[in-house]
Structure 1
Amino acid sequence: MRLEAITWERLGDTLAERLLDLKPADGGPWLKVALDGAPAARPGELAVLVSEALRTRGRSSLTVGTEGFLRPASLRFEYGHRDVEAYYSGWFDTGALWREVFGPLEPDGTGRVLPDLWDPVTDRATRSDYVQLPPGGVLLMHGPLLLHHWFPFDLTVHVSLSRGALRRRTPESEQWTLPAFERYDSETGPAACADVVIRADDPRHPAWSG
């Protein structure tokens, strides 16, 4: 894989331009984009940059973070607060994401999306209002481990960190999650299957391929 140096701002612009020319694979009116990466890679910040770049080009978008679709603590921590298997396959409410985000964006959907469902701090429902994404709008979903759920993305972007960079940039309290990302790399291979790969070992100087 050949990586080219780029700034985050240019990357946001480049991805936005690519999305302007992309057609939904399902023939519907909405594009669905994954910005995949461990929390330490900060894929949500890239989602904001792409959203702003789309806005300046007259294109609507909706940014959805999977941290807003965590399962209740009673389910996430059923096998302890640091169970790697639970984090890998059971922390995120994929059923709710299908129902509240992807379902409304099917070709015959309403475009009425719930941006978040569960607040992990209060461990209660957020009670957020639904957001209407107009035809031609773009869903920008960001979060970890996105590419092994078979979500119907039209473009997949993986923000990659080397094992050493991931360890350095992950807070001590979250280091227990690292084996989940090693498993993700082994089983899913996001750097090989994503449409766009961004290497962010040095957060000031990213490089990309795509």
Structure 2
Amino acid sequence: MRFEPITWERLAEALAGHADGQTPADGGPWLRIGVDGAPAARPGDLAARLAEALRERGRPVLTVSTGGFLRPASLRYEYGKEDPDSYADSWFDTGALWREVFRPLEPGGSGRILPDLWNPGTDRATRSPYQVLPEGGVLVLHGPLLLGRWFPFDLAVHLSLSPGALRRRTEESERWTLPAFARYEDEVAPAGQADAVVRADDPHHPAWTGPG
């Protein structure tokens, strides 16, 4: 896999330009982009830059974080608060993401998306209002462990960190999640499933493969 140096600003512009020329794979009117990466890689930052670049091109954009679709604490912590297998398999409510985010964007759908569902701080439903993404709009979903779940992304971007960089850039209190990301690499091989891979070991000097 060959990587070329790029800035975050140019990366967002290049991804927006590529996405702007795409047709949704299912023939519907909405484009769906996934920005996958461990929290240490800060996928939300790239998602925000990409959303801004798309809006500058005149595209309506709705950005959604998987952090708003965590399961209740009773389910997340069933096997303890620091169980990496639970983090990989059952922390994120993939069923709710399908129901509230992806299905409304299927052909003939309403475009009516719930931007978040659960507040982990209060361990209660957020009760956020639904938002309507107009036809021709773009969903940008960002978070960890996104690939390998059959989400219908038209463009999937993976932020890659070497094991050493992942350990260095992960807060000590969160390092119990590292085995989950090692398992993700072994079982899912996200770099092989993504349309574009960004090497983010140095947060100031990313490099990428280009789209496709």
**What TM-score, normalized to structure 1?**
0.99
Distance 2:112 2:137 in 1: 12
Question: Partner letter of residue 192 of structure 1?
Answer: G
Aligned residue in 2 for 1:140:
140
Aligned residue in 1 for 2:198:
198
Question: Partner letter of residue 125 of structure 2?
Answer: A
**Matched residue SS, 2:135:** coil
1:88 corresponds to 2:88: yes
Distance 1:193 1:20 in 2: 21
**Matched residue SS, 2:74:** helix
Q: Name structure 2 gaps, 5 residues minimum.
A: none
Question: Partner letter of residue 28 of structure 2?
Answer: G
- 1:131-210 matches, cutoff 5 A: 131-210=131-210
Question: Partner letter of residue 100 of structure 1?
Answer: E
What is the aligned residue count?
A: 210
Q: Name structure 1 gaps, 5 residues minimum.
A: none
Distance 1:119 1:31 in 2: 27
Distance 2:34 2:101 in 1: 13
Distance 1:172 1:119 in 2: 23
Aligned residue in 2 for 1:98:
98
Q: Post-superposition, which runs of at least 4 consecutive aligned residues in structure 1 deviate over 4 A?
A: none
Deviations 1:95-144 (CA, angstroms, capped at 9, x unpaired): 10010000100011000000000011111111111111000101000000
1:5 corresponds to 2:5: yes
Report the Cα offset of residue 193 of structure 1: 1.7
- 1:107-122 matches, cutoff 5 A: 107-122=107-122
Question: Partner letter of residue 94 of structure 1?
Answer: T
Distance 1:95 1:192 in 2: 24
**Matched residue SS, 2:147:** helix
Aligned residue in 1 for 2:128:
128
Report the Cα offset of residue 83 of structure 1: 1.0
Aligned residue in 1 for 2:77:
77
Distance 1:57 1:154 in 2: 18
Aligned residue in 2 for 1:56:
56
Question: Partner letter of residue 15 of structure 1?
Answer: L
Report the Cα offset of residue 8 of structure 1: 0.3
Report the Cα offset of residue 38 of structure 1: 0.2
Question: Partner letter of residue 153 of structure 2?
Answer: F
**Matched residue SS, 2:96:** helix
**What TM-score, normalized to structure 2?**
0.98
Distance 1:193 1:85 in 2: 21
